């Protein structure tokens, strides 16, 4: 009897930890944890830990219509970088972003999963298989 109570209580605790009450499997959690670490190393200098960007130099990620509408291009630009003007939330940004070509497909997937499930985003896990097929089709800049 006692064991069941403990088990039930434990499950509730674990269940309760997932944001929005949704359960997240451990692979998803691992993507998020690794993704955050990679984000801090490669992205947060410019886009800030808070995802708010900086002035009109570096666009925000915390709320971004560009991110919402262009998942494939975002995955490409994490690895390959991007130059030229982009419009984010109605504002023009034009600072070239260097890519991080050394990132593996898995690392790109982890960063993408982190940024797409943080701040205001809730897009769910972005699997490495999906990332690999997108990366094959990136247009060269």
**Cα 96 versus chain centre, distance:** 20
Q: Is 65 helix (H, G, I), strand (E, B) or coil?
A: helix
Q: How far is the CB of 65 from other proteins (least distance, A)?
A: 19
Dihedral pair phi/psi, residue 91, rounded to 5° = -110, 145
Which residue has tokens 């509408």?
Answer: 69
Q: Which of 7, 14, 33, 56 binds other proteins (CB under 8 A)?
A: 56
Binding of other proteins by 82 (CB under 8 A): no
58 Cβ contact list (under 8 Å, min separation 6): 46, 47, 48, 93, 95
Cα–Cα dist 33/29, whole Å: 6
Binding of other proteins at residue 84 (CB under 8 A)? no
User: Considering the rule CB under 8 A, would residue 40 count as an interface residue with other proteins?
Assistant: no
Q: How far is the CB of 133 from other proteins (least distance, A)?
A: 28
Residue 57 CB, nearest approach to other proteins (Å): 5
55 binds other proteins (CB under 8 A): yes
For position 106 contacting other proteins by CB under 8 A, the verdict is no
Residues that bind other proteins (CB under 8 A): 45-46, 48, 54-58, 93, 95-96, 98
């Amino acid at each position: 009897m006692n064991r069941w109570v403990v088990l039930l209580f434990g499950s509730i605790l674990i269940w309760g930890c997932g944001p929005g009450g949704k359960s997240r499997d451990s692979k998803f959690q691992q993507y998020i944890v690794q993704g955050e670490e990679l984000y801090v190393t490669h992205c947060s200098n410019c886009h800030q830990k808070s995802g708010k960007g900086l002035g009109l130099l570096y666009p925000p990620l915390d709320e971004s219509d560009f991110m919402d509408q262009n998942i494939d291009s975002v995955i490409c630009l994490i690895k390959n970088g991007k130059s030229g003007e982009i419009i984010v939330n109605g504002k023009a940004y034009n600072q070239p972003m260097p890519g991080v070509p050394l990132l593996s497909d898995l690392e790109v997937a982890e960063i993408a999963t982190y940024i797409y499930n943080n701040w205001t985003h809730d897009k769910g896990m972005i699997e490495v298989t999906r990332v690999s097929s997108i990366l094959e089709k990136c247009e060269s800049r």
